[in-house]
Structure 1
């Protein structure tokens, strides 16, 4: 599948971070050649070489943008990093457009011994914006874990979080049975991300059975709804901790603390998660 390839799943490594180094390096090389033409005007073809480095930078940037956009569309709509990702995407588009304009401006002066002022300014602005965009890209990976480990997963990740409440649902004493509206649509080894009165829970379907457990890994809080499955183990996409979805027990470190697990029952034809009323805690 094309999307799987663009997410780097056949390579077991995301594509976008691999490809972005090429345009970054080429744009920086172009600027260095511009500056070299000012310092060493007697050296031939520096302006021309800068032009072609920039042209290759634009081409490779457009190539890198394709898997980058696929990664962007996979970010949950309610993820707190979505605005950062949007800013990163927007800045990258501006940078590519700016370098496209730059190519047009300098195309008529390739034989000049020194770079002209206008294209040099455009290059400086382009590198400055590229630096900001790169910083935002780093934040997405290192602070928010965006796309980390997703290349290992074979099924779609949740598009958003379902917000539910244990109020006014069937109960048994202090226990509430909260219906999960979209659970019956899950395919094998697919997940839902739900929030019940403040408790974020992953619903997973494995071997035609449903399991519920806390969303965040007990090691560094990686999103388990985006993890992969090995048998009945869910693997955190960040640091590969594994937990048995049936019991919440740690089966592979670095995590040392078990997950909270939640009982799943079918009531009146609806798949329900059992939580303590008013607390969202497991039963």
Structure 2
């Protein structure tokens, strides 16, 4: 069965969801038990986790332009994207810090646990887009077909060009949304709902 551009992101999204918490868990357990082998696993795994976050993010940008979102699902997408940009910065920072130290510090472990929570919550938001709102689901009219070529039926070259174009378009949309203050609209919406006085 041929794969479409927007299907690459969910196909590889499990790598950061698994690798980042595993790297942190290995370091945490290694530090608590003074197990150098486990701490070395954590140290070696964190750059792999950061690379998987980057690859999944690029695939996410390509997917963003191939799917249809409206209202709540668009807010979910923007929030998911923003959290993942933050997760990329955090995971690259964690990998850089960990590469320079034989043992993980308490601050590193706390930041790593925050990253593990962030990747889990962001994955949940991605799942909500698909399962609650049909984003990217063809029978739910959630696909922009002209921006979602099948591979290899339409050729890898065309799919790669479309994916690169989608990433560029997604970066422009990200800059536009950020300039308009749409950084985490799902959080902003909930905060404004809580602050509204009750009617009656």
Q: Distance in 1 between matches of 2:62 and 2:135?
A: 12
The one of the two structures with greater contact order (alpha-carbon pairs below 8 A, sep at least 6) is 2
- Look up the match of 1:69: 61
**CA-to-aligned-CA distance 1:149-202 (integer Å, 9 cap, x gap):** 3xxxxxxxxxxxxxxxxxxxxxxxxxxxxxxxxxxxxxxxxxxxxxxxxxxxxx
Larger proportion of strand: 1
SS at match of 1:36: helix
Q: Matched residue pairs, number? A: 145
1:34 and 2:27 correspond:
yes
What SS class does the counterpart of residue 145 from structure 1 fall into? coil
**1:225 CA displacement:** 7.7
Who is 1:146 aligned against? 135
Q: Secondary structure at the match of 1:81?
A: helix
Q: Does 1:19 align with 2:8?
A: no
Alignment match, 1:80: 72
Deviation at 1:108, TM superposition (A): 2.1
> For the aligned residues, what is the CA RMSD?
2.6
Structure with max Cα Rg: 1
SS at 2:136 equivalent: coil
The aligned runs of 1:103-182 (5 Å cut-off) are 103-110=95-102, 114-149=103-138
* 1:14 aligned counterpart, secondary structure: helix
Query: Per-residue CA shift, 1:185-235, capped at 9, x if unaligned?
Result: xxxxxxxxxxxxxxxxxxxxxxxxxxxxxxxxxxxxx5448498xxxxxxx
| Separation (CA, whole Å) in 2 of partners of 1:23 and 1:92 | 11
Q: Which runs of 5+ in 2 are unaligned?
A: 146-200
d(CA) in 2 for partners of 1:84, 1:77:
9
Checking the alignment, whether the CA contact within 8 Å between 1:37 and 1:115 is kept in structure 2 is: no
- Any idea what SS the aligned residue of 2:42 has? helix
Query: Could you state the TM-score of these two structures normalised by the residue count of structure 1?
Result: 0.46
Asked whether 1:100 is paired with 2:89, we answer no
Partner Cα separation in structure 1 for residue 114 and residue 84 of structure 2: 13
More helix by share: 2
CA distance, structure 2, for counterparts of residue 56 and residue 146 of structure 1: 29
Rounded to whole Å, the distance in 2 between the matches of 1:225 and 1:131 is 24
For structure 1, list consecutive stretches of 5 or more residues without a partner in the other structure: 1-7, 150-221, 229-283
Stretches (4+) displaced over 6 A: none
State the distance in 2 between where 1:123 and 1:73 align.
Answer: 30
